[in-house]
Amino acid sequence: MTRVALFGATGFIGAACAAALAAAGHEVLPRPARRLAVDGEALTGVPERAYRPHLPGLAAELDGVGAVVNAAGVAVSAARLSPELVGGNAAWPRLLADACERAGVPRLVHVSTAAVQGRVDRLDESLRYAPVNPYARSKTLGEQLLRDAAAAGRVAVTLYRPPSVHGSGRRMTTAFAAFCRRWPLVTCGDGGQPVPVALIGNVGAAVAAILAADGAPLVVSHPYEGHTVRSLYETFAPGRPLHPLPARAVRGLLRAAEPTGQWLPPLSAACRRAELLLFGQGQERGWLDARGFRLPLGQPAWDEVAATRGRSHYR
């Protein structure tokens, strides 16, 4: 059993991590994240200058802890670039790594996102970055700052990258379920394109598996859950037809929207979601696959989430 300090334990992903870690026998210690407002330029050179006043108190909170899991951050894909976005997704993780070093905590698992790789042909566990909006850029900066901390030997860091995470009670899932009921279902091709999505219970299980392993690598991607564009639509809207669109024309429209999306993040986020459903995105097998990790939740759990239309059972 390990005493695990979990930051963001009351959030959507944090709650799933707490449940999975407790089920694995760990003592889970919920801890509050610091709310930081930091300009991105302040994190160049000596990042500690941007958050130094918070470091002693945070390190004291980690006394006697065997590992830290960070599920805290600003999880708004349509957010504008702001000091709060940079503070929550970049400065805060680096502050946490420095606090781990000061407190002698050997391991830090940071929940990042597959969005840091944006439009790469296939998601993988490399440090190739292609963020397409301010949210993804802030998460990329957070990864880079943690990479630097790990390279300096300060703490063993693992950057875990889940794709779009679905589950009952999540607004994104509710909105997707409503879209599937109300609008024509369209894609480019036959719908057989793989699409990177994850169930919240599988995300918690992946974090627990990372923590259970000795010598986890710097980057760990979430395993492919087997969905194609067609199967995801069929899960949330069974029986509805799928209408093909001309790929060249669609790509042209999305490219035309890019300049506006640079200063209008909600448009950029919407276009990126559309890209995934229109063209899909593949991914390489990763470290968890190589270790024989098996996702605990499969299609029946997806069907259950779809049956509730993404709404929480407790509402």
With a cut of 50, say whether residue 93 has pLDDT above it: yes
Q: Is 203 helix (H, G, I), strand (E, B) or coil?
A: helix
The predicted structure's pLDDT at residue 100: 97
Label residue 310 by pLDDT band (50, 70, 90): low
Of all residues in the chain, the percent with pLDDT exceeding 90 is: 83
Amino acid at 304: E
How many whole angstroms from its chain centre is CA 53?
Answer: 28
The per-residue pLDDT for range 52-65, each reduced to its tens digit, is 999 999 999 999 99
The predicted structure's pLDDT at residue 185: 95
**Cα angle 179-163-222, degrees, rounded to a multiple of 5:** 140
Question: In the chain, which segments carry CATH 3.40.50.720?
Answer: 3-168+196-225+282-300
With a cut of 80, say whether residue 309 has pLDDT above it: no
pTM for this structure? Answer: 0.95
- How many helical (H) and strand (E) elements, i.e. helices and strands, does the chain have? 12, 12
Average pLDDT estimate for 41-51 = 88
If you average pLDDT over every residue of the chain, what do you get?
94
Q: Rounded to an integer, what distance in angstroms lies between the CA atom of residue 39 and that of residue 34?
A: 16
Average pLDDT estimate for 3-24 = 97
What superfamily in CATH does domain 3-168+196-225+282-300 come from? Answer: NAD(P)-binding Rossmann-like Domain (3.40.50.720)
Buried b (16+ CB within 10 A) or exposed e, 266-296: ebbbebbbbbbbbbbbebeebbbeeeebebb
- Burial class from Cβ neighbours inside 10 Å (0-12, 13-18, 19+) for residue 45 reads exposed
The residue ranking higher by pLDDT, 259 or 18, is 18
Label residue 154 by pLDDT band (50, 70, 90): confident
Amino acid at 126: S
Nearest CA to 31 out of 133, 115, 105 is that of 105
Label residue 40 by pLDDT band (50, 70, 90): confident
Average pLDDT estimate for 41-57 = 90
The predicted structure's pLDDT at residue 308: 86
With a cut of 70, say whether residue 49 has pLDDT above it: yes
DSSP per-residue codes, 124-183: -SSS-----SHHHHHHHHHHHHHHHHHHTTSSEEEEEE--EEE-TT-HHHHHHHHHHHHS
How many whole angstroms from its chain centre is CA 309?
Answer: 22
The predicted structure's pLDDT at residue 315: 38
With a cut of 50, say whether residue 204 has pLDDT above it: yes
The predicted structure's pLDDT at residue 214: 87
The predicted structure's pLDDT at residue 174: 95
The per-residue pLDDT for range 244-269, each reduced to its tens digit, is 999 999 999 989 998 888 889 889 88
Looking from the CA of 128 toward its CB, the CA atoms found within 13 Å total 11
Q: Give me 180's structure tokens.
A: 């599937």
The predicted structure's pLDDT at residue 312: 62
Phi, psi of 187 (to 5 degrees): -160, 170
Average pLDDT estimate for 213-218 = 93
The residue ranking higher by pLDDT, 1 or 243, is 243
Label residue 153 by pLDDT band (50, 70, 90): confident
